[in-house]
Amino acid sequence: MSAPATDDSVANAGGIGGPSLGDAEFRFLREFVLEHCGISLGEHKRQLVQGRLLRRLRALRLRGFESYCQILRDDPDSELGELASAISTNVTSFFREMHHYDFLIQTQLPLWLQQKRNGGRLRIWSAGCSTGEEPYALAMVLAEALEAYGSQVDAKILATDLSPQALEAARKGVYSVDKLAGVSPERLRRWFLRGEGAYSGLACVHPRLRELVTIQPLNLLHDWPMQGPFDAIFCRNVVIYFDKPTKQRLFSRYAGLLPPGGYLFLGHSESMYGLSDDFDLVGRTIYRKRGT
């Protein structure tokens, strides 16, 4: 997922002597990011935002932040993804928070595939997929379950994110070997193709995983084109950065796309406590939609 940047060491990455981020421009950017991304930027993030956005100013050949803010006013959608990428740090890994995958492997996937064995449909949404590690990890356990149970279920994973750079990396599905530490040796052999020669040190996800995963751009705060229903939604380490009203709206929208008994998976430091009456906590950051 894409999380707000926190590394102050990059605050001056744009280079000494670049334009400064004035009070009015920073105020506008804070309001814009809160409205369009649901992320609250504190005053202490001013230098960091300046350093990150200086790169965009150079890329767009702009002389100052006033011009950049005007682009956002004139056509917000044209630059929103780039802005989100500039102020975000993508923190993710394969099989992060393994207990969620264990729950799928040991409990839910066998149950779903049994219930849907006669031409059923299984859908999982990775909301805030970042560079693809999460949806491809989900695809591994899903593919293995489909093989183990000989199921002909129509199973797919939707992976979405706001960051164009993250989505590009996810679509490529190519990772440095040191990024695969969370993948077991058996899965490495089965689900990755090792690069050779100029591609030594890289690995590409197996075509079977690509078949299971659809990658699309999406802003969680804007309209959603998909109708659902989803059997499970993964939105991990994303909502921690949103304000309370944004969290409440998002959880309500998730509930609308899940059937009774559907699951919502949050990150290890996230909670739905006091934010929604639609779900019951049934495991470590695992929530099940109420109803029968």
Residues identified as active-site = 52, 161
Structure tokens at 95: 């099989």
Q: Which residue has the tokens 């199973």?
A: 155
Catalogue the E-assigned strands of the chain: 2-4, 88-90, 121-127, 154-161, 174-176, 192-194, 202-205, 213-217, 232-235, 263-266, 279-283, 286-289
Pick from 122, 172, 164: nearest CA to 145: 122
Number of Cβ within 10 Å of residue 261's Cβ equals: 13
In whole angstroms, give the CA distance from residue 102 to residue 262.
17
Inter-residue contact 183 to 95 (CB < 8 Å):
yes
